[in-house]
Structure 1
Amino acid sequence: MKMNSESQIIRTEYSELMKKSYIDYAMSVIIARALPDVRDGLKPVQRRTLYDMYELGIRYDKPYRKCARIVGDTMGKYHPHGDSSIYDALAVMAQDFKKGQILVDGHGNFGSIEGDGAAAMRYTEARLTKFTQEVCLSDLDKNVIDFGPNFDETEKEPVVLPMRVPNLLVNGAEGIAVGMATSIPTHNLCEVIDGVKAYMKNDGVTTRQLMKYIKGPDFPTGGIVVNKDDLLNIYETGQGKIKLRGKVEVEDLKGGKKQLVITEIPYTMIGAGIGKFLNDVCNLVETKKTTDIVDISNQSSKEGIRIVIELKRGADVENLKNMLYKKTRLEDTFGVNMLAVANGRPETLGLKQIIEHHVDFQFELATRKYTTLLEREREKSEVQEGLIKACDVIDLIIEILRGSKSVKDARACLVEGKTENIRFKFSISKKMAAMLRFTERQATAILEMRLYRLIGLEIEALQKEHEQTLNNIARYEDILNNYDSMAEVIMEELDSYKKEFGRKRRTVVENAEEAVFEEKKVEEQEVVFLMDRFGYAKTVDMAVYERNKEAADSENKYIVHCMNTGKLCIFTDTGKMHQVKVLDLPYGKFREKGTPIDNVSNYTSSEEEIVMICDAEQMRFAKLLFATAQGMIKRVDGKEFQVAKRTIVATKLQEDDRLVSVKVVNETQNLVLQTRNGYFLRFPAADVPEKKKAAVGVRGIRLQKKDELEHTYLFEEGTETKVTYGEKTVTLNRLKAAKRDGVGNKTR
């Protein structure tokens, strides 16, 4: 291969290259996608979407525009990462059940609190809210923030928006980056503003003192924060867990009945959580955990949440409320991790640090804003002084203009006093013109001045305007040179936002007692587990089984005697063991159909075949014999299967092997292995070595080509045991005793 003389081959360690590439990718996700900036509390996609709406002129007092137009424009100009991410961000900023202050005014279906998604972007419309326009996007024309190039360097986009309130606290944030995630709860705007003002008045304020103003999170869904004492540590470290409860009211009905009405839900229940809550309550009824609930209905509407649980007469209301807190997501945990991008790097911030960053940003915004305004006022003052001065010598200026051959000559005379190219009527005029020294900006204003400005009233107005300009200059200089003056201006703005956009707190913050409920103890009794060949399972009372023993034995594939408080172990041909609580199975009449075993366990009938079902408690004191289709066998101590998990790997299998038999065995028994082609091998069960459940085992029988182990039989010495193979009957105790790992004898 020919190579250009200028080309170079750079040798590098592959692992180093991969490490660098992955770190670059991770930082890109962290900084440019997943985490909000502490200054404006926005992720890049949110910032770009809001700025694009501002650029398109979709203001709060203008008509709505199609979301498809907004998404397309944002993607083409600023955010080339697909339309779904932009539309999802736009939809969330319009959902009042997720944001403390919505940033987008949505028109159409933008989803619901119950988890319904927003309609397609071609159907929905949006515009900026007044809050966004005045608090997030004001003063963009006053050089308050830096702009940077977009992805293809054809446009300029803001590095950060000039956010005037701590949006990171007000609207919270959620985001998953690479190796880190952020989860910040929403807060009340009025309280946050009070906290910012307290910090500005005394930057030595402690987190505890700030919490006199900021009581805790204020979720748009309301609810109750029940661990108030933990909030101080959460706000100091930026990490912790907030316990949330829904608001439950008790309503009296006719006939002495009562009903529980849930009017507020935990913030974490938004979306699919409501449906899951309804299912969980139904499960409590079905599993007989409670018999107090008569009916449950979701009567929620646009007016708010209303989930009604109707109770039977004489129900223990307090105990039931505590059960709902314990057994459902009516009490949930909100994990707090206040991670944000600060000074270009991800950082976990406490409450005071967030406010500190915000206040520093506000002073930077105010400094840049009033520096720009001061420059403009000084330019304006310069022009006004020139015009006032020109009005005093207007006759001379008119003479200069009439005697000039070009604008250039007139400008030179006004600025530098050059009179060579100008024809004057009077010599005194020439001497006076030579003394003129207007600035370039003043000269331009004089040359562009309209004649109506010479009216007496206009001159007076100009003088008053100049006085106002001088007052503005003095005020802006005072703001820029005096910390207290600038702080006062910022606090005045905050007060105006508080007055216009503030609302009452929705979430109650308190210390509540741990939810404790008395669970009715199940009376322990022996039952019989029955499962038919179709996989439908149930349990019945021992007496019921004894009365129907003949029918039960003939109709059911698996019959296991167990305690109703115990567990059953299901071994399958894939080498797995699934556990089922006996209480999860329907208990009742013999002729009831039961429930599919798939519904109460991780067992999947389409993928696995059951080998054995046994009682977990009985198995504790037994040894289990495992045998596979490839002839591998072993004994395993039953204690190894006393686990809490619902599903475990019960044995290790070789490639293309499957489990064919699991049986309870003791060393006094004889073992007979039978293959599909009719080979029988008998040897003492004691010859099977005991192994761990993770072992493959040892070979029990040497298989012929295209043969496999089909059955295992156990019998006691001296007992006659007969089995059927094909059309023949084989007496097991008459088989010749051999050793393990033999070929066996073929039936004739």
Structure 2
Amino acid sequence: METKQENVIRTDYSEIMQKSYIDYAMSVIISRALPDVRDGLKPVQRRTLYDMYELGIRYDRPYRKCARIVGDTMGKYHPHGDSSIYDALVVMAQDFKKGRTLVDGHGNFGSIEGDGAAAMRYTEARLEKLTQEVFLGDLDKNVVDFVPNFDETEKEPSVLPVKIPNILVNGAEGIAVGMATSIPPHNLGEVVDAVKAYMKDNTISVKGLMRYIKGPDFPTGGLVVNKDDLRKIYESGTGKIRLRGRVEIEKLKGGRKQLIITEIPYTMLGANIGKFLNDVASLVETKKTTDIVDISNQSSKEGIRIVLELKKDTDVENLTNMLYKKTRLEDTFGVNMLAVADGRPETLSLKQIIEHHVEFLFDVTTRKYRTLLDKEQEKREIQEGLIKACDVIDLIIEILRGSKNREQVKKCLVEGVTEGIRFRIKASEKAASKLKFTEKQAGAILDMRLYKLIGLEIEALQADYQETMKNIAEYKDILDNYDSMAEVITRELDGIKKEYGSKRRTSIENAEEAVYEEKKMEETEVCFLMDRFGYMKLIDKNAYERNKEAAHNENRCVFLCMNTDKICIFTDKGKMHTIKAVDIPLVRFRDKGTPVDNLSNYDSSQEQMLYVAPLGQIKQDQILFVTKTSMCKLVDGAEFDVTKRTIASTKLAEDDELIFVGSAGEMEQVVFQSNGGYFLRFLKQEISTAKRAALGVRGMKLADGDHLEHAYLLGGHQEYAISYHDKEYSLNKVRLGKRDTKGIKPRI
């Protein structure tokens, strides 16, 4: 029995991983996430549109269920999840996301406020007229290459013959592996004008193109307020566009005003509208502004309308600037014009995108007119044959009557073979032997019907022949002359602009940085409360005085501070988190409060609070730090007056952590307790004062495997007792020793 030989290839595992990952990354980049610069479509969009074209779901025909479109696309061209296909279909139908919608959706296709589309079994769709005529119009003229689908049972276009730079008109967004694209939408009419300008002068600069393309044109309108930055963005293909919503002021009776937001920044689409409303409400709750009386979202299908009712003497300009600064009413759109060009991802300038598209346009137009020319030349051949046949029709009839079969007639017409054919006279046979029709002409003659011999029909045939010759001359001129082809393309572009162009929605301008005067907060004393679950709140000082006992019994941290102060939280990981008191809700005594995790970078799952105090108090104190390995130091409180929300409060050795942080202002002595049961009491003066970034000094000499568990601060002559082995033990009984000694083990 023969043994099957195995072919074992020895290679480094890292090489296999590297090659596999690169293959995967390129697949995601080229075949999924990035659009092609020629048609501006990702594969899923291209396949969906082509499938609708194949199914005959045209703009002038009835809508079809989206489930049918999705299923057919998935089965024939796109073997991925149905949700990815439906999501792409939905976005192509949403007029608030696309510069021009490519799909005409019927049913619930979501809303500008972030509501999702209905399930695909409920919604219907068909192609837009623009898509059918501008994106798919010449597919039957061999203008693009068709490639096999995933299982080689169907053919699909490698690119759609789009006549406008769709990547600019509709923009694009996509996240690939190690790269992402973000191209804003533009005005169709402006883009067409820029393409025409490039075709007239291909040395035109980006600055020259920007005489036509003023900037992005977002479907949500709004304002682009950094006009001077646009040239650099379009030259490099990357940058940030600053967007603002459009704000109007309406006057009400009694001298009051209301601020109306009629257009939003493109980046505020969806759930961010709700976030904006919450941010405005938060400004009111935290007393950052007292000018807003009421907020209401009156948006509808007619458009955006967010109404802020204002107090009588409101400084509207200052409030508007505050909204720009503190909310997403002003936002940035990150531009990264990355697309697949010549089979690889490339960051393109505005001019490069138009260059690629014009080159594609000329290629498509060349293939189109070559196909049309071939058809006209084929038509001419047949027409010439029929005209020639009419001149010798009597001879042809004689050949037909004297032949035995079709093949005999065809051979006579093409090659002049007369054998086996009965002629009435010898002259006819001689004339027949001189016939030289082509195969196609002979076939057309044999298929010709007798009514074609009517005089008017012969005249019509000759008129058609003249028309064919005229078309051939025209097509040859277009194919042979750049200017003629450019004129044809320009004519098409003008027609597209005339039918589908629209007014610009987004204004382009230069605007000053939003500056507002923050009203000085009235400084008052409040009480900070934090319960054992980490919920924080501020209450009025009078409320604290009335509920003093309950406040201390129910909370782990209770102290008075100013409402302009900061709250500092020290953790066992050596971090200090700060929270502005003004950001903590000022509520009634019995209200719950807000979790500390929501207002700071503190993570209750990763670290543990050791000390919480107001910065005003900390700055006047020294802070004692003690670690698990018995390192200790004193740090001046002024070092913790910083602007960052989170800092390293101390330096820790590897695998070390803090066990104690506290104010050392009134302490005179410190007691360390180790896990092994040793206690050491020594004077505060023996601990060095150091900087935040220092490790400190050793406080207690620990045995192998032992570590510190607790540190206690003692005042002057006060008694300080702890529970030790379930018995009360006074720390004052611990013999006073020296720092960096072993300490004692009490007998209890």
**Normalising by structure 1, what TM-score?**
0.92
Q: Give 2:633's aligned amino acid.
A: R
TM-superposed deviation, 1:552? 5.2
* Alpha-carbon distance in structure 1 between the residues aligned to 2:384 and 2:554: 109
Q: Which residue of 1 aligns with 2:632?
A: 634
- Could you say if the C-alpha distance between residues 608 and 585 of structure 1 is closer, same or farther in structure 2, counting changes exceeding 3 Å? same
TM-superposed deviation, 1:29? 1.6
Q: Which residue of 2 aligns with 1:101?
A: 100
TM-superposed deviation, 1:605? 6.0
Q: Which residue of 2 aligns with 1:430?
A: 429
* Alpha-carbon distance in structure 2 between the residues aligned to 1:111 and 1:581: 39
- Could you say if the C-alpha distance between residues 435 and 101 of structure 1 is closer, same or farther in structure 2, counting changes exceeding 3 Å? same
Q: Which residue of 1 aligns with 2:268?
A: 269
Q: How does 1:86-97 map to 2 (within 5 A)?
A: 86-97=85-96
Q: Deviations over 1:59-84 (max 9, x none)?
A: 11121112122112212222122222
| More displaced 10-residue stretch of structure 1: 516-525 or 39-48 | 516-525
- SS of 1:445's equivalent? helix
* Alpha-carbon distance in structure 2 between the residues aligned to 1:50 and 1:410: 49
Q: Which residue of 1 aligns with 2:583?
A: 584
- Could you say if the C-alpha distance between residues 125 and 457 of structure 1 is closer, same or farther in structure 2, counting changes exceeding 3 Å? same
Q: Give 2:168's aligned amino acid.
A: L
Does structure 1 conserve the Cα–Cα contact (< 8 Å) formed by 2:115 and 2:270? yes
Q: Which residue of 2 aligns with 1:288?
A: 287
* Alpha-carbon distance in structure 2 between the residues aligned to 1:589 and 1:250: 36
2:298 is aligned with 1:306: no
Q: Give 2:284's aligned amino acid.
A: V
- Could you say if the C-alpha distance between residues 641 and 28 of structure 1 is closer, same or farther in structure 2, counting changes exceeding 3 Å? farther
Q: Which runs of 5+ in 1 are unaligned?
A: none
Q: How does 1:220-369 map to 2 (within 5 A)?
A: 220-369=219-368
Q: Deviations over 1:162-199 (max 9, x none)?
A: 00011011001111112221111111111111111111
2:435 is aligned with 1:444: no
Q: Which residue of 1 aligns with 2:416?
A: 417
2:745 is aligned with 1:722: no
Q: Which residue of 1 aligns with 2:67?
A: 68
TM-superposed deviation, 1:586? 3.5
Does structure 2 conserve the Cα–Cα contact (< 8 Å) formed by 1:654 and 1:696? no
Percent of aligned positions that are identical: 68
* Alpha-carbon distance in structure 2 between the residues aligned to 1:106 and 1:293: 39
Q: How does 1:159-558 map to 2 (within 5 A)?
A: 159-524=158-523, 527-533=526-532, 535-539=534-538, 553=552, 556-558=555-557
| More displaced 10-residue stretch of structure 1: 255-264 or 666-675 | 666-675
- Could you say if the C-alpha distance between residues 31 and 605 of structure 1 is closer, same or farther in structure 2, counting changes exceeding 3 Å? closer
* Alpha-carbon distance in structure 2 between the residues aligned to 1:603 and 1:747: 41
Does structure 1 conserve the Cα–Cα contact (< 8 Å) formed by 2:182 and 2:337? yes
* Alpha-carbon distance in structure 1 between the residues aligned to 2:297 and 2:267: 18
Q: Give 1:723's aligned amino acid.
A: A
* Alpha-carbon distance in structure 2 between the residues aligned to 1:567 and 1:654: 28
Q: How does 1:133-144 map to 2 (within 5 A)?
A: 133-144=132-143
- Could you say if the C-alpha distance between residues 447 and 566 of structure 1 is closer, same or farther in structure 2, counting changes exceeding 3 Å? same
Q: Which residue of 2 aligns with 1:742?
A: 742
Q: Give 1:48's aligned amino acid.
A: R
The Cα RMSD (Å) is: 3.1
Q: Which residue of 1 aligns with 2:8?
A: 9
Q: How does 1:615-630 map to 2 (within 5 A)?
A: 615-619=614-618, 623-627=622-626
* Alpha-carbon distance in structure 1 between the residues aligned to 2:449 and 2:699: 110
TM-superposed deviation, 1:382? 0.6
- SS of 2:556's equivalent? strand
TM-superposed deviation, 1:455? 1.6
Q: Which residue of 1 aligns with 2:157?
A: 158
* Alpha-carbon distance in structure 1 between the residues aligned to 2:185 and 2:396: 64
- SS of 1:472's equivalent? helix
TM-superposed deviation, 1:90? 1.0
* Alpha-carbon distance in structure 1 between the residues aligned to 2:699 and 2:400: 117
Q: Which residue of 1 aligns with 2:566?
A: 567
- SS of 1:248's equivalent? strand
* Alpha-carbon distance in structure 2 between the residues aligned to 1:412 and 1:369: 35
Q: Which residue of 2 aligns with 1:35?
A: 34
| More displaced 10-residue stretch of structure 1: 276-285 or 682-691 | 682-691
Q: Deviations over 1:607-631 (max 9, x none)?
A: 7654321223544575544456x66
Does structure 1 conserve the Cα–Cα contact (< 8 Å) formed by 2:215 and 2:508? yes
Does structure 1 conserve the Cα–Cα contact (< 8 Å) formed by 2:633 and 2:696? no
| More displaced 10-residue stretch of structure 1: 738-747 or 354-363 | 738-747
TM-superposed deviation, 1:206? 2.1
TM-superposed deviation, 1:340? 1.1
- Could you say if the C-alpha distance between residues 643 and 88 of structure 1 is closer, same or farther in structure 2, counting changes exceeding 3 Å? farther
- SS of 1:746's equivalent? coil
- Could you say if the C-alpha distance between residues 135 and 608 of structure 1 is closer, same or farther in structure 2, counting changes exceeding 3 Å? same
Does structure 2 conserve the Cα–Cα contact (< 8 Å) formed by 1:701 and 1:744? no
**Normalising by structure 2, what TM-score?**
0.92
TM-superposed deviation, 1:155? 1.8
Q: Give 1:11's aligned amino acid.
A: R
Q: Give 2:136's aligned amino acid.
A: L
Q: Give 2:380's aligned amino acid.
A: S
Does structure 2 conserve the Cα–Cα contact (< 8 Å) formed by 1:144 and 1:365? yes
| More displaced 10-residue stretch of structure 1: 639-648 or 15-24 | 639-648
Q: Give 2:462's aligned amino acid.
A: Q
Q: Which residue of 1 aligns with 2:77?
A: 78
- Could you say if the C-alpha distance between residues 81 and 632 of structure 1 is closer, same or farther in structure 2, counting changes exceeding 3 Å? farther
TM-superposed deviation, 1:479? 0.9
TM-superposed deviation, 1:538? 3.6
* Alpha-carbon distance in structure 2 between the residues aligned to 1:157 and 1:591: 67
The number of aligned residues is 743
Does structure 1 conserve the Cα–Cα contact (< 8 Å) formed by 2:649 and 2:692? no
TM-superposed deviation, 1:561? 4.5
Q: Give 2:192's aligned amino acid.
A: I
* Alpha-carbon distance in structure 2 between the residues aligned to 1:424 and 1:104: 66
- Could you say if the C-alpha distance between residues 37 and 595 of structure 1 is closer, same or farther in structure 2, counting changes exceeding 3 Å? closer
* Alpha-carbon distance in structure 2 between the residues aligned to 1:84 and 1:643: 49
- Could you say if the C-alpha distance between residues 605 and 12 of structure 1 is closer, same or farther in structure 2, counting changes exceeding 3 Å? closer
Does structure 2 conserve the Cα–Cα contact (< 8 Å) formed by 1:222 and 1:266? yes
* Alpha-carbon distance in structure 2 between the residues aligned to 1:499 and 1:269: 31
Q: Give 1:212's aligned amino acid.
A: R
Q: How does 1:47-58 map to 2 (within 5 A)?
A: 47-58=46-57
* Alpha-carbon distance in structure 2 between the residues aligned to 1:422 and 1:686: 134
- Could you say if the C-alpha distance between residues 261 and 13 of structure 1 is closer, same or farther in structure 2, counting changes exceeding 3 Å? same
- SS of 1:477's equivalent? helix
* Alpha-carbon distance in structure 2 between the residues aligned to 1:258 and 1:425: 106
* Alpha-carbon distance in structure 2 between the residues aligned to 1:551 and 1:32: 65
Q: Give 1:58's aligned amino acid.
A: I
| More displaced 10-residue stretch of structure 1: 254-263 or 544-553 | 544-553
Q: Give 1:745's aligned amino acid.
A: K
Q: Which runs of 5+ in 2 are unaligned?
A: none
* Alpha-carbon distance in structure 2 between the residues aligned to 1:99 and 1:218: 10
Does structure 1 conserve the Cα–Cα contact (< 8 Å) formed by 2:714 and 2:720? no
Q: Which residue of 1 aligns with 2:672?
A: 673
- Could you say if the C-alpha distance between residues 329 and 46 of structure 1 is closer, same or farther in structure 2, counting changes exceeding 3 Å? same
- Could you say if the C-alpha distance between residues 747 and 62 of structure 1 is closer, same or farther in structure 2, counting changes exceeding 3 Å? farther
* Alpha-carbon distance in structure 2 between the residues aligned to 1:442 and 1:297: 77
Q: Give 1:742's aligned amino acid.
A: K
Does structure 2 conserve the Cα–Cα contact (< 8 Å) formed by 1:169 and 1:186? yes
Q: Deviations over 1:182-227 (max 9, x none)?
A: 1111111111111111111222222222222111111100001111
